[in-house]
Amino acid sequence: MEYTNLGATGLQLSRIAFGGMSLNPDAAAGQRLLQRAHASGITFFDTADLYDHGRNEELFGAAFRHCRSEVVLATKVGNQWRADGQGWDWNPTSAYIRQAAEASLRRLQTDYLDLYQLHGGTLEDDRDEVLEAFGRLQEEGKIRHYGISSIRPNVIREYVPGAGLTSVMLQLSLLDQRPFEAMLGHLRTHNVGVLARGTLAQGRLAGKPATDYLGHPAEQVAQAAAAVQALAIELGQTPATVAGRFVLDTPGVTAAVLGLRTETQLDEALQLARCPPLPAEARAALLRAVPANAYEQHR
C-alpha cells in the first residue's frame, strides 16, 4: 500500500481511499467491508452527511470507533436535507455548517473530523462566512483540516490560493481529463492535495455499457474502455486497476477515492494498491485512445 501526505499537512493517508457513497445500508455488511479495508492497509475513508440521510456516516462511525486514531475520516457539508426528506438544498451558512459538523461528529462517533469538505459550492456563496465557520471548528479542535469537493474551476479558484484549504476533491479519469488543462497545475503550485473521484467514469471504464459521458460520445467511451481492457490483458491486470493506476500516476494526484460496495471491488482496489505505475508507453497509448475533454462551464 502506498501512503502519502495530504497537501502541505503532515496528515498521512493511503493513496487508495475508500469512497463510501454506494455502500450497502445493511450495517453489518458495510461495517465488515470497511473493517476489512482497514485491516488490509487502507487508512483513508470518505463519506458525506448527505449520503443515505446520514446513515452512511453511521456505518463509518460504528466500524472505526475502536480504532479512531488509525484512520483518516473525511466527510462533507453544505447540502441540507429538507424536513420531508425529499431532496436537499444548498446551505453554506456558518450556522448550518456548525450545526452539521456536530451532527457528523455524533454519527461518526468521534470528537474530531480529519478532513471537512464543502460539498460543492457556487460563486454566489459567502466565502468568508464558509471560512469563518471552518476556522472556528478548527480552533475548537472539531476539525483538523478543511477542503472542498468541486468540479467548478471558477469556484475552486475562489478558495485557492489564500483560504487555507488542504485538499480539493474533483473528478478525474481517462475519460475526464478536464483537470489536466489548468486545475492540477494550479493546485500543485499552491500545495493543495487532489482527491480524485470518478476513476472508473462511474463504471464505464470497467465493463459497464458505453454511454455519452462529459462531451465524449458513446463511441469514444467504448474506444477508451477497449484501450483500458486491452492494456489490462497485456499487463495481466484488470480494467479497474489499469484505470485506477492511470489516475494514481497523474502528477499532482494525492489519492484516488474509489467507490467500493462489494468484496470483489475491495479486492480489486487492494490489487490496485499492489500494482506498479503504468509503463510510460502504456500511459501514452491510453491517452491516444481518447481526446482530452475540457471544462465547458464554470471555467
- Residues 6+ away with beta carbon under 8 Å from 118: 76, 77, 78, 92, 130, 146, 147, 148, 149, 150
Nearest-Å Rg of the Cα atoms of the chain is 19
Whether 201 contacts 240, CB under 8 Å: no
Among 265, 275, 293, 295, which residue sits at the site for ligand NAP (rule: CB under 6 A)? 265
In the complex, the smallest distance separating the C-beta of residue 221 from ligand NAP, rounded to whole angstroms, is 13
Per CB under 6 A, 114 contacts ligand NAP? no
- Binders of ligand NAP among residues 13 to 52 (CB under 6 A) are 19-22, 46
Per CB under 6 A, 200 contacts ligand NAP? yes
- Give catalytic status of residue 51 as yes or no: yes
User: Which amino acid appears at position 51 of this protein?
Assistant: Y
Instruction: Name the maximum alpha-carbon separation found in the chain.
Output: 54
Per CB under 6 A, 101 contacts ligand NAP? no
Residue closer to ligand NAP by CB (options 158, 280) is: 158
- Residues 6+ away with beta carbon under 8 Å from 214: 175, 176, 178, 293
From 79-87, 129-137, 153-161, 259-267, span contacting ligand NAP (CB under 6 A): 259-267
In the complex, the smallest distance separating the C-beta of residue 139 from ligand NAP, rounded to whole angstroms, is 25
Instruction: Check 3, 51, 112, 295 and give the catalytic one.
Output: 51
Residue 173 pairs in a beta bridge with 176
Residue closer to ligand NAP by CB (options 131, 148) is: 148
54 φψ region: left (φ > 0), alpha (ψ -120 to 50), beta (else): left
Place of cell 470518505: 46
In the complex, the smallest distance separating the C-beta of residue 171 from ligand NAP, rounded to whole angstroms, is 7
Per CB under 6 A, 225 contacts ligand NAP? no
- Residues 6+ away with beta carbon under 8 Å from 50: 76, 79, 81, 88, 119
Size of site (CB under 6 A) for ligand NAP: 25
**Residue whose C-alpha is closest to residue 92's, from 124, 69, 115, 63:** 124
In the complex, the smallest distance separating the C-beta of residue 44 from ligand NAP, rounded to whole angstroms, is 11
In the complex, the smallest distance separating the C-beta of residue 240 from ligand NAP, rounded to whole angstroms, is 3
Whether 274 contacts 51, CB under 8 Å: no
Residue closer to ligand NAP by CB (options 7, 20) is: 20
From 86-94, 138-146, 200-208, 282-290, span contacting ligand NAP (CB under 6 A): 200-208
Among 75, 94, 104, 149, which residue sits at the site for ligand NAP (rule: CB under 6 A)? 149
Per CB under 6 A, 75 contacts ligand NAP? no
Whether 129 contacts 93, CB under 8 Å: yes
- In degrees and rounded to multiples of 5, residue 89 shows phi and psi of -125, 150
Entry field: residues in the chain: 299
Instruction: Give the residues lining the site for ligand NAP (CB under 6 A).
Output: 19-22, 46, 76, 119, 149, 169, 197-203, 206-207, 240, 257-259, 261, 265, 268
Cite the active site residues: 51
